[in-house]
Amino acid sequence: MMPEDRSTRPLNLERLAASDRVAGALSLAIHEHRLAPGTKLGEDEIGEVYGVSRTIVRAALQRLAHNQLVEIQRNRGAFVAQPSQQEAREVFEARELLEPRTALMAASRATGSDSDSLRAHSAKEHAAIAAGDRGRALHLSGQFHTEIARIAGQTVIAGFIATLIARSSLIIALYWRRESALCESHAHHALIEAISAGDGATARDLMRSHLVDLHTALDLRQTATPARTLKEALLSPESQA
């Protein structure tokens, strides 16, 4: 048996860390709607922005493709994913099935610390809305829902919900119709209070109503188009915050 070559370990770890950093930055830009669905993700441009090689960029894009945020097309390259109208319906229908039960379970398990965490998170979301930063508010809204799934203690279901929420961000970017597609402050506030009080039935019903409202806030007859270039999106002031 050949001895293990340990000399490549630091280099491999550095590449992994770099690809993680790039994947995280691109994921955040997608979730905050700085990168619109359909945007071409040129490897050279991304490498220039983040100061990394094409090999590292390619690894980051492969990871995002695995998470269904990016589509890699043969002989064409990588693009921010564009969920179809049918997929948009299915994603929200799946959320309407899963998340009410998750809210019910969260209400039975939430500690005082969990409630404080939800309130702090909601405060950040309100601050983003007040500042007119719609993209950040939407990203925080998605995180709020994944936090409820975490509190519920249903690890497998929480993973499904996280994937659905990631797709929801793309769907909202494509089919946005009205501002209430932002998780309205009163909806999240009411959910927090029900979960904090241990009122599972109310939390379940509030979550279901909230998700139906989000679903109806979308216009599945129209799609948005990218408003700026890749470099403009990645180097925008909000991406440096």
pLDDT at residue number 218:
83
How far, in Å, are 49, 220, 241 from residue 84 at the CA level?
Answer: 30, 9, 32
Average pLDDT, the chain: 85
Smallest CA-to-CA distance from 140 within 185, 78, 76 is with: 185
- Band (pLDDT 50/70/90 cuts) for residue 48 is very high
Q: pLDDT tens across 198-238, in order?
A: 999 999 999 999 999 888 888 877 555 554 567 666 766 55
Q: Per-residue b/e over 95-118, b at no fewer than 16 CB within 10 Å?
A: bbebbbbbbbbbbeebeeebbebb
Hey, CA dihedral for 48, 51, 52, 53, is it positive or negative?
A: positive
CATH architecture classification, 85-216:
Up-down Bundle (1.20)
d(CA 202, CA 193): 10
pLDDT tens across 169-204, in order? 888 888 876 555 455 557 899 999 999 999 999 999
| CATH 1.20.120.530 placement within the chain | 85-216
Inter-residue contact 22 to 50 (CB < 8 Å): yes
The token duo for 66 is 């695995």
The pLDDT tens digits for 13-44 are 888 889 999 999 999 999 888 898 899 999 99
Q: In which residue ranges of the chain is CATH 1.10.10.10 found?
A: 9-81+224-240
Contact 88, 80 (CB under 8 A): no
Name the CATH architecture for the domain at 9-81+224-240. Orthogonal Bundle (1.10)
